[in-house]
Structure 1
Amino acid sequence: MLPVRQLHLDSRMAGSRMKLELSRVVQGRCRLGVLKELGRTGQQSLEVPGCLLHTHLGTVPHLTQDSMQTLSNLPSVTQVTLSHIAEHQEVLEEFKDGFKKFADLRDTVLYCSLHDPATPCPTGYTTNKTVSVWGSGGRIELTVAKFMALQKTVQPDWYQSMADGETWQNNTSRKRVRKSVDRTLAHLDECLLEHQKSQELEGVEVFGVVEGGDILEERVRSGRETAKRPVAGFCLDGLQTGCMDQNLRNQLITAVTKELPEDKPRLLQGVGRPDEVLACVEAGVDLFEGFFPFQVTERGCALCFSFDISPDPELADRAPPTVLELEEERDTSGETQQNGDLNPDDQLRMTSFEINLKDKRYKDDFRPLVEGCGCYCCKNHQRAYLHHLLVTNELLAGVLLMIHNTAHYHAFFGALREALANDKLDILKRRVLREGGGQAEINA
C-alpha cells in the first residue's frame, strides 16, 4: 500500500475543485448546503441533502428525452455504472470523446459508480486483485488497470474508486471485513496513482469508498484512513436496505462521519426508502442514489406518501383526507418487517410508501395518483387508466409511472431541504412516517 504521505504530496498537482458549502447543521448532524463547482467547467451545483439522477447507460429507464422534458427540478448529477458500461468499452474507446457526448448528455455532471444500486450483485467473486461487475452478458472481472482504463474511456466528472464491497452479509467474519477494508484502501491508492498520471482524467474527482461491514471499529478505521487520501468525497458502502437494522446503520454512519472532513460530501449507496433517507440524513449523510423511483415503477406501483409541511401547526398534526384514504388502500403485505430477518431482497419488495395499481380496486378509480401532484401523469390521467395499462402490459404504464415516481421522489428531497432550512424536520418526519405506514422509528 502506498504511503499516505506520498499521496498527499502528489495531490498538489490536481487539487479538488468540488466544494461543499454548508449553510446549516441541524440537530448536530443534519447538513444543509450546496455542493459547488461540479464538473470540469465547475459551473454546476447540487443542493444537499439531495440525490442523483438514476440512469441505465445514461438514460432514465422508461423515459425518452421528450418525456424527460415534462420533469422539472431534476438533479444536476447523472449516475452511470460500470456494470452497464464495461461491456461496451471497445465501442467507447473507438468513439474517443467520452460517455457524456456518446449518450448526448447535456448540462449535467457525470458520476460513475461500480454497481447498479437497483440490482443486487452476486457475492463471492472478489479477489485481492479484482472485483466483478455484471452486465447483460454476464460477469466482467476488473483489475485496477482495467478499471482505470474504463474511467479514462468514460471520462466522467467524478467516479467511485474500486472497492471490495462484499461484507454486507450478517454472517461475515471479522477477518473478512478487515480484509475488505485493507483491499479497498489498497485499490484506492492504486487508483489515485494511476489517476494522477493520466491526462484524460485531469480535472476529474475521485470518491473514496468506506467499507467495514457491521463492525464499528473497522468502519471507523476505513473512514479515518480514507480521509487521509486526496479524495473529493466519500461513498458509504455496505449499508444497503435489508443488510442491517436501521439503528445499527445509524450508529455506524454517525461514527464514520465523525472521522470525515466537514467540507467533503458523503454519498450513501443502496438506500432510497423515504424513512431510511430521513434517518440517514440525521446521521450525517449528504447524498443518495436516486434508484428508488425505478424500483417502485418496476413493481407497477406509484409513490403516494405525503411530505407537505403546513405552516399551520394544527394542520401539520392532521393528515390530509386524501392521504388517509390512501393509507386504507395500501397493500402492505410486502413491507419490510423491522423486527424480522434482514434480507437484501427487501430492496425489491413493495413498501408502504406506494400503492399497487395492478390491484383490481383501481379498475374504476378515476382520481389522479396523488391529489395535488403537478406531474404530467397526475394532471392528465387517472388510476383506472394506469391500472388498465398495467394489466394489459402496455409500455406506456412504465412511462407514466416513472414520470410520477421521479417527480414525487425528487420533490420529497426538496421538502426535506425546506424542512431543514425552516426548523420543521420533526413535522416532516411525522408526516412521512405516519403516512408511510409508520414502519420505522427515527431518533432525533
Structure 2
Amino acid sequence: MADGETWQINTSRKRVRKSVDRSLAHLDECLLVHQKSQELEGVEVFGVVEGGDILEERVRSAKETAKRPVSGFCLDGLQTGSMAQALRTQLISAVTKELPEDKPRLLQGVGRPDEVLASVEAGVDLFEGFFPFQVTERGCALIFNFNISSNPELAELEPGEDQETAGDSQHNGDLNPDDQAQMTSFEINLKDKRYQGDLRPLVEGCGCYCCRNHQRAYLHHLLVTNELLAGVLLMIHNTAHYHAFFGALRDALAEDTLDLLKRRVLGQTERKD
C-alpha cells in the first residue's frame, strides 16, 4: 500500500511530502498486520519508495523505508511518460544509495529496453514484465539486437534492413517514444503491407515456437484478418525475445560487458537520430 499519485506533472511539494508520510504510515500498518498474522508467515513485504520528482523527498522516503524490516523495495512513480530519462536516472541513483545492497529494488512502470539498461546502471534489480504484452497489443514484434557473443550461431539479429525498419516508426511525427501506448524503435509493425509477402521468421535464429513455425507474411495475414491466433503467436515471440534480452543483461553484468550490450542495443536507435 502506498500513496502513489504524485508522479503527475506540477504536483506541489506539500502534496509530495504528504504522499511520503502516508506511504510510510501504510507500511507500518502492513508490517504490524504481517507480524501478527499466521497466514502471512513466510510472505515477504516490500516497502514502497515515493517522492515524485523531488530529490529530497525521494531520499527521505528511501532512508525511512530502509529502516523498516522489509525484504525489498518498490520504486514507484517513475514510470515511462512521467518524466525524462535523465531525471529518472538521477532520482533512482540517489534512492539506491540509501537502500541496502542485499535487498532487491523493483522499478514499476518501466519496460523499454533503453530505459531498462539506464535503470540497471542506476541500481535497479527487478522490472515488471508488461512490455511484451504492450508490443503484442500493437500488433508488433520485438526484433532488437542484444547479441554480444562472438559465436554467429547465437546471433539474434544481424544489422540490416530490419533495424532500419524498426527505427522508422520512432521518428514518425505522430508518435511519441515516451508514450507507452506508442510503437518504439525496438519493434516492427506486422500490419504494414511490406510484410505481406515476407517469408522470413520474425527474427532469424530465434528459437521460439512462432519463429520456428511461421513467417512474417502469415502473421501479417492473421493481423489484418483479426484472427485471435495473431496475438497468441506474437506474445510467444515477444515474451521469448524479452526474456532472452534479460538473460543477456544478466550475463553482461556477470562478465562486466554491460557497455558492450548497451552499444549493441542502443546503437540501433542512435543511428537514426
Query: Could you tell me the TM-score, scaled by structure 2's length?
Result: 0.93
Q: Are 1:422 and 2:221 matched, yes or no?
A: no
Equivalent residue in structure 2 for 1:326, among 148, 162, 172: 162
Specify the alignment match of 2:198 in structure 1: 365
Report the 3-state secondary structure (helix = DSSP H, G, I; strand = E; otherwise coil) of the residue aligned with 2:46: strand
Equivalent residue in structure 2 for 1:249, among 80, 88, 93: 88
Residue pairs, 1:198-277, within 5 angstroms: 198-277=37-116
Specify the alignment match of 1:163 in structure 2: 2
For residues 79 and 242 of structure 2, the distance between their equivalents in structure 1, rounded to whole angstroms, comes to 18
Give the superposition deviation at 1:310. Answer: 2.8
Gapped runs of 5+ residues in structure 2? none
* Structure 1 residue ranges (4+ consecutive) displaced by more than 3 angstroms after TM superposition: 319-323, 334-337
Report the 3-state secondary structure (helix = DSSP H, G, I; strand = E; otherwise coil) of the residue aligned with 1:205: coil
For residues 97 and 26 of structure 2, the distance between their equivalents in structure 1, rounded to whole angstroms, comes to 23
Q: In the TM superposition, what whole-angstrom CA distance separates every residue of 1:34-87 from its partner, at most 9, and x where no partner exists?
A: xxxxxxxxxxxxxxxxxxxxxxxxxxxxxxxxxxxxxxxxxxxxxxxxxxxxxx
Equivalent residue in structure 2 for 1:178, among 17, 20, 23: 17
Specify the alignment match of 1:293 in structure 2: 132
Report the 3-state secondary structure (helix = DSSP H, G, I; strand = E; otherwise coil) of the residue aligned with 2:45: strand
CA RMSD in angstroms comes to 2.0
Give the superposition deviation at 1:170. Answer: 2.0
Q: Are 1:438 and 2:270 matched, yes or no?
A: yes
Contact map agreement 1:305 1:353 (CA 8 A) in 2: yes
For residues 86 and 142 of structure 2, the distance between their equivalents in structure 1, rounded to whole angstroms, comes to 25
For residues 373 and 268 of structure 1, the distance between their equivalents in structure 2, rounded to whole angstroms, comes to 28
Give the superposition deviation at 1:197. Answer: 1.1
Say which structure is richer in helix.
2
Specify the alignment match of 2:220 in structure 1: 387
Report the 3-state secondary structure (helix = DSSP H, G, I; strand = E; otherwise coil) of the residue aligned with 1:347: coil
Contact map agreement 2:157 2:204 (CA 8 A) in 1: no
Q: Are 1:310 and 2:142 matched, yes or no?
A: no
For residues 440 and 224 of structure 1, the distance between their equivalents in structure 2, rounded to whole angstroms, comes to 41
Q: In the TM superposition, what whole-angstrom CA distance separates every residue of 1:108-161 from its partner, at most 9, and x where no partner exists?
A: xxxxxxxxxxxxxxxxxxxxxxxxxxxxxxxxxxxxxxxxxxxxxxxxxxxxxx
303-312 or 171-180: bigger deviation: 303-312
Contact map agreement 1:275 1:440 (CA 8 A) in 2: no
For residues 405 and 425 of structure 1, the distance between their equivalents in structure 2, rounded to whole angstroms, comes to 22
Aligned residues: 267
Specify the alignment match of 1:407 in structure 2: 240
Give the superposition deviation at 1:322. Answer: 4.3
Report the 3-state secondary structure (helix = DSSP H, G, I; strand = E; otherwise coil) of the residue aligned with 2:111: coil
* Cα distance change, pair 307–256 in 1 and its aligned pair in 2 (3 A): same
* Cα distance change, pair 362–204 in 1 and its aligned pair in 2 (3 A): same
For residues 321 and 439 of structure 1, the distance between their equivalents in structure 2, rounded to whole angstroms, comes to 16
Specify the alignment match of 1:375 in structure 2: 208
Query: Could you tell me the TM-score, scaled by structure 1's length?
Result: 0.58
Give the superposition deviation at 1:311. Answer: 3.1
Give the superposition deviation at 1:439. Answer: 8.8
